[in-house]
Amino acid sequence: MLSKVLIANRGEIACRVIRGCRELGIKSVAIFSEVDRESLHVKLADEAICVGHGSNGDSYLNLANVLMACQISGAEAVHPGYGYFSERANFAVALESLGIKFVGPPTAAIEAMGDKASAKKAAIACDCPVVPGSDGAVPTESDALVIAEKIGYPVLLKAVAGGGGRGIRRVDAPEELAGLWKMAQAEAQASFGSGEILIEKCVVNPRHVEIQIIGDSFGNMIYLGERECSIQNLRHQKLVEEAPYADLPPEVRKRMGECAVRVASSVGYQNAGTVEFLVDSNNDFYFLEMNTRLQVEHPVTEEITGIDLVHLMLQITSGLPLPISQEDVEISGHAIEARITAQDPDKDFAPSTGRITGWRAPGGRGVRMETHCYAGFSVSPFYDPLLAKLIVRGRTREEAVTKLQTALHEFEIEGIASNIPFLRRLVASEGYETGQFDTGFVPRFLAGEAL
């Protein structure tokens, strides 16, 4: 087993991984920025090293500083969490050259799945259905017009290097294309350092369903069921996720799971990863992309399988084989996660920052909290607005929904605004309660449409 791991991240996910390390007897090293000095992840770790000032570029994304922290600490391996360096092949390569292990897939697998165009190619090669669209990046605006005409409107323009819901534009008619094309390109260039754009058929009001996979270095790979993530904000960012997707026919679940394993295996994948699909109203599914890291919403999978994904990731990096096979995976109960963010629903979800003066977290049976916050902690404007993940578990979806409603009712944060009041309304809506929703649900809810 590894003896010391550095966590190249902050916030709730750093806390999550630090706890996992401690449970396995692994020493943990946190990194932090000056403004994060009081964050819980710094307090929970065995050691902590400052890597810069406030902004991400100065600190958590400062490659030289983070690598130096890895070396100084004597860590044998680095867990990247999600976001930050988690899907950057150059980080894994740099670690390798220092003789430090990366808790994640091999570099070649990160590269193969790193952009949406090559990921789709890998899926097609495995006979996995994909959303109809361009064959890779589209060179010019006039090519875009031709392709869009061929696949039929509406279409989406997507940044090939995109992620986190950014860089996606919907085009409903040819006359809109020129303007949106330029916007999408500029946005992609600014956000991801590459202006490459691909075109995809816009599946109208699909479900977002993703499969968790995990593989070891001995060629064993399994899938751990699906997560339903259709409750997304206006910018395609997930808000509430659940597992399992109760209305998914078992036969479709099996085909999706096998598809995910096939695609991941084809690029030599190891460790934890997620294959994302869109599912239409006929339960036909289409490969969307693969996230080559631990996903924000991984706890709902842990809750219904009883498997600790962070433990498995660390064990696999230690060179151990997967302790279970596909037949051992049992799904039981229903779990839901709500992302609590410092965003003000009364101000168009603008970020809210400042000192948290009061923090009354929910509790009770079947309630799990993942957070780095507490009363007295200051939320800075530099980082992602995620404050906490509230995860609930019940025997059935109905029980889990009731628990989520109760827990959100209990949850009080003072000093800064949060999206809790909005989440309370959302999960009390009939559409949410009955599970009859798709990726267009939140936009319709915000527009005040009857649901």
Active-site residue list: 293
Smallest CA-to-CA distance from 411 within 402, 399, 401, 423 is with 423
Interface residue with ligand ADP, options 30, 42, 131, 138 (CB under 6 A): 131
Q: Does the footprint of ligand ADP cover residue 289 (CB under 6 A)?
A: yes
Q: Does the footprint of ligand ADP cover residue 232 (CB under 6 A)?
A: yes
Structure tokens at 217: 């270095």
Query: How many whole angstroms separate alpha carbon 60 and alpha carbon 166?
Result: 20
How far, CA to CA in Å, does 278 sit from each of 79, 205, 211, 227, 258?
A: 29, 10, 11, 12, 16
Smallest CA-to-CA distance from 401 within 373, 446, 437 is with 437
Closer Cβ to Mg ion, 2 or 159, answer by number: 159
CB of 155 to ligand ADP, least distance (A): 8
Interface residue with ligand ADP, options 30, 177, 231, 296 (CB under 6 A): 296
Contact of 296 with 364, CB cutoff 8 Å: no
How far, CA to CA in Å, does 3 sit from each of 17, 43, 75, 178, 217?
A: 14, 19, 8, 55, 19
CB of 162 to ligand ADP, least distance (A): 5
User: Which element (helix H / strand E) includes 14?
Assistant: helix 11-23
Interface residue with ligand ADP, options 156, 239, 307, 442 (CB under 6 A): 156
Rg (CA), the chain: 21
Return the one option of Mg ion, ligand ADP, none that residue 404 interacts with (CB less than 5 to 8 A, by type).
none
Return the one option of ligand ADP, Mg ion, none that residue 242 interacts with (CB less than 5 to 8 A, by type).
none
Interface residue with ligand ADP, options 165, 174, 219, 321 (CB under 6 A): 165
Query: How many whole angstroms separate alpha carbon 140 and alpha carbon 338?
Result: 40
Contact of 4 with 62, CB cutoff 8 Å: no
Query: How many whole angstroms separate alpha carbon 139 and alpha carbon 149?
Result: 16
Q: Does the footprint of ligand ADP cover residue 236 (CB under 6 A)?
A: yes
CB of 299 to Mg ion, least distance (A): 18
CB of 430 to ligand ADP, least distance (A): 22
Interface residue with ligand ADP, options 46, 280, 384, 433 (CB under 6 A): 384
Q: Does the footprint of ligand ADP cover residue 288 (CB under 6 A)?
A: yes
Tell me which residue has its CB nearest to Mg ion.
276
Q: Does the footprint of ligand ADP cover residue 200 (CB under 6 A)?
A: yes
CB of 276 to Mg ion, least distance (A): 5
Closer Cβ to ligand ADP, 176 or 384, answer by number: 384
Q: Does the footprint of ligand ADP cover residue 129 (CB under 6 A)?
A: no
The residues in 227-286 that bind Mg ion, with binding defined as CB under 5 A, are 276
Residues near 139 by beta carbon (within 8 Å), at least 6 away in sequence: none
Query: How many whole angstroms separate alpha carbon 277 and alpha carbon 131?
Result: 9
CB of 70 to ligand ADP, least distance (A): 20
Contact of 71 with 53, CB cutoff 8 Å: no
Q: Which residues bind ligand ADP (CB under 6 A)?
A: 82-83, 131, 156, 162-165, 168, 200-203, 206, 208, 232, 236-238, 276, 278, 288-289, 291, 295-297, 384, 439
Binding residues vs Mg ion (CB under 5 A): 276
